[in-house]
Each structure stands twice: as structure tokens, then as C-alpha cells.
């Protein structure tokens, strides 16, 4: 997949996160990767032109959608578009500052989701280790790398490399189907070659129809099904207007300029108050597990 023409690409930091790993695949030609502390800050860096591109997680196969990404794109970053995607298998390793036996580990530090995703392994291999939360898997590896104590973290080989640590065991996750979908973001009108090739997918968000009326959503989505457009994902998020009022995020097969999709979007606009196209971009196969 061709990388962006720009040189500054933001990612959800710190160094060594899976987002940085996704960045290396989505933007291989980048010369400056800039870590941001939150999803919101990462997306808004594109909105404010602090960077030209950004990579953030948008969906996980076990935990569902990354709501911070969806909400920021829908509400605060209306000039930002999705231009590419990557499905990245998440493979956790047990990481320590130096090579020690897993039985010697007194504490395991990681993001709560990673701890949960490796729960069976931790109970079996490190039954007496204390579990401690970190802001991210990479932050857990950083803490382990800075401590002389016999601690370990859960994270990627990239994080181990970034913080001078050793991988004690690979593939310690309980479920091998743990996949995170990452997206590459750009300003509207500034997307490059990554937007122009391959089978396309279109992401939209819409709201403001009579969504408390029976069958209202079915009628809206009928504009897609009646034109033979496959809906690959749909979910709702609160509009913060009171209970029962939602905005709906949907992924469609096809590009926004193709005849059936363009007609369907025009028909949707006539039925809802707001319809925002988040982007049309190549539908990407998953990256092989390392």
C-alpha cells in the first residue's frame, strides 16, 4: 500500500504501541512519526494541520468499536477523512527488562484490556504475580524497562525494542482472533494515492430522523438495500440530546462516487438531518501475524 506524500504522521502513543506498528504498515514512507497521548489529540492533530496524517484504532474484534475515534470524527473533526485501513492481529508478548523465568515475575503491568486478553496464561504461568494497570501496553513496557524489580509487561516486540527490554514469551494472548482495525486519516481534499485503488469501502454517520418511531431506521436503511448496497457494519452512539436519540455509524461496500452508492447517499440526505461521509477508502485485508 503506498504511503502518504507527507512526512509528519501522528499516532496514538507512546512509542511502542500497536498504533505505531500499524503506522509502519499504513505509512511506510513517513519520515517523522509523532506520538500523541489520546485518540482525541491524535485525530485533532490532523484537523488543526499540526500533522498531515494520523493513525488511530477504530475497532477491535473482542472489545468492539473505539468510541473515542467515532465521536471525534463525527463531532469535532469534520474536516478529517478516512483514507486507508488495516486489520492488525494483536499478538501479546511477556516482556521484562532482562531475561528471567516467568515464575520469578512479581508484578505484571499492562493496559486492562491486555491483562484481560491474557488472563488464562497469567493464571497458569504467573499465578502469584500481582496485576497492575497502565495507560497502554507500551506504557507498561516503559515502566518495566525503568525498574530494577522483577516485573513484566504485556506488549509487542516493537515496545520491547523501544524500551530496551526482552521478550520472555510470545503469543501469550488467550484468543488468537484478537484483531484491531486501524485507520489512516487525512484532511478532506488532501488525500493521496492511498484513496484511489482497490475495492472501496465507504464509512458514514447520520442522525436526525424520527428514530423513536417504529420502523424509522428500517425505512432509512431501505435506501441502501433497495439499491443492492451491502451494509458491512452499523452501530449507534448517543447524540447527547436525551435518551432515545442516536447517531448511526455505517460501513458500506463501494465508493461514494459509484452510481448506486452516490444515489443512496443522496436519498439518505433527504431522510435525515445530517449525513457526513467519513471517507471512501480501499478495503484492506488483514496483516499476517508476526
pTM (global) more than 0.95: no
* Residues assigned a catalytic role: 180, 182
Q: Strand, coil or helix: what is 109? A: strand
CATH 3.40.50.2000 fits 8-89+178-189, yes or no: no
Q: How confident is the model at residue 283 (pLDDT cuts 50, 70, 90)?
A: confident
Q: In what helix (H) or strand (E) does residue 206 lie, and over which residues does it extend? A: strand 200-207
Q: By the 8 A CB rule, do 14 and 35 touch?
A: yes
Cα separation of 174 and 95, whole Å?
16
- Which cell goes with 150? 522483577
Q: Where are the alpha helices (DSSP H) in 13-172?
A: 18-26, 39-47, 67-71, 112-117, 119-125, 137-146, 157-162
CATH 3.40.605.10 fits 93-169, yes or no: no
Task: Work out the percent of the chain whose per-residue pLDDT is above 70.
Answer: 90
In this structure, of 75-89, 187-201, 213-227, the range with the lowest mean pLDDT score is 187-201
Q: Report CA 215 to chain centroid distance, whole Å.
A: 32
The answer to whether 8-89+178-189 and 200-282 have equal CATH topology is no
- Which cell goes with 117? 486478553
Q: By the 8 A CB rule, do 119 and 97 touch?
A: no
Whether residue 199 is predicted with pLDDT greater than 80 in this model: the reply is yes
Q: Which string of DSSP letters, residue by residue, matches 56-67?
A: EEEEETTTEE-H
Whether residue 206 is predicted with pLDDT greater than 60 in this model: the reply is yes
Give me the mean pLDDT over the 182-206 stretch. 80
Q: By the 8 A CB rule, do 245 and 239 touch?
A: yes
Give me the mean pLDDT over the 152-160 stretch. 96
Q: By the 8 A CB rule, do 162 and 138 touch?
A: yes
Q: By the 8 A CB rule, do 223 and 255 touch?
A: no
pLDDT for 285 equals 55
In this structure, of 164-168, 191-195, 225-229, 248-252, the range with the lowest mean pLDDT score is 191-195
Cα separation of 200 and 214, whole Å?
32
CATH number of the 200-282 domain: 3.30.70.260
Neighbours of 238 (CB within 10 A): 13
What are the counts of helices (DSSP H) followed by strands (DSSP E) for the chain? 9, 15
Report which of 121, 176, 181, 169 is spatially closest to residue 289, judged by C-alpha positions: 176
Name the residue ranges covered by the structural domains of the chain: 8-89+178-189, 93-169, 200-282
Amino acid at each position: 500500500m503506498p504511503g502518504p506524500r507527507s512526512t509528519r504522521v501522528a499516532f496514538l502513543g507512546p512509542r511502542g504501541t500497536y498504533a505505531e506498528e500499524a503506522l509502519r504498515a499504513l505509512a511506510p514512507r513517513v519520515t517523522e512519526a509523532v506520538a500523541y497521548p489520546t485518540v482525541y489529540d491524535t485525530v485533532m492533530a490532523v484537523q488543526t494541520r499540526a500533522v498531515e496524517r494520523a493513525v488511530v484504532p477504530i475497532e477491535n474484534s473482542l472489545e468492539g468499536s473505539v468510541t473515542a475515534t467515532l465521536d471525534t470524527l463525527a463531532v469535532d473533526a469534520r474536516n478529517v477523512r478516512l483514507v486507508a485501513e488495516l486489520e492488525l492481529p494483536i499478538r501479546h508478548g511477556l516482556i521484562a527488562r532482562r531475561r528471567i523465568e516467568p515464575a520469578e515475575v512479581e508484578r505484571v503491568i499492562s493496559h486492562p484490556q491486555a491483562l484481560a486478553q491474557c488472563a488464562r496464561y497469567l493464571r497458569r504461568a504467573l499465578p502469584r504475580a500481582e496485576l497492575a494497570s497502565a495507560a497502554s501496553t507500551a506504557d507498561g513496557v516503559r515502566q518495566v524497562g525503568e525498574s530494577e524489580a522483577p516485573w513484566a509487561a504485556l506488549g509487542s516486540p516493537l515496545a520491547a525494542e523501544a524500551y530496551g527490554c526482552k521478550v520472555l514469551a510470545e503469543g501469550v494472548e488467550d484468543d488468537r482472533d484478537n484483531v484491531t482495525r486501524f485507520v489512516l486519516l487525512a484532511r478532506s481534499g488532501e488525500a493521496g494515492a492511498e484513496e484511489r485503488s482497490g475495492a472501496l469501502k465507504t464509512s458514514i454517520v447520520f442522525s436526525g430522523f424520527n428514530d423513536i418511531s417504529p420502523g424509522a431506521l428500517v425505512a432509512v436503511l431501505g435506501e441502501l438495500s433497495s439499491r443492492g448496497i451491502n451494509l458491512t457494519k452499523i452501530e449507534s452512539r448517543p447524540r447527547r440530546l436525551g435518551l432515545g436519540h442516536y447517531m448511526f455509524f455505517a460501513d458500506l461496500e463501494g465508493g461514494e462516487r459509484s452510481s448506486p452508492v452516490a444515489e443512496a447517499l443522496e436519498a439518505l440526505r433527504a431522510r435525515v438531518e445530517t449525513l457526513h461521509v467519513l471517507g471512501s477508502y480501499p478495503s484492506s485485508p488483514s496483516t499476517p501475524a508476526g
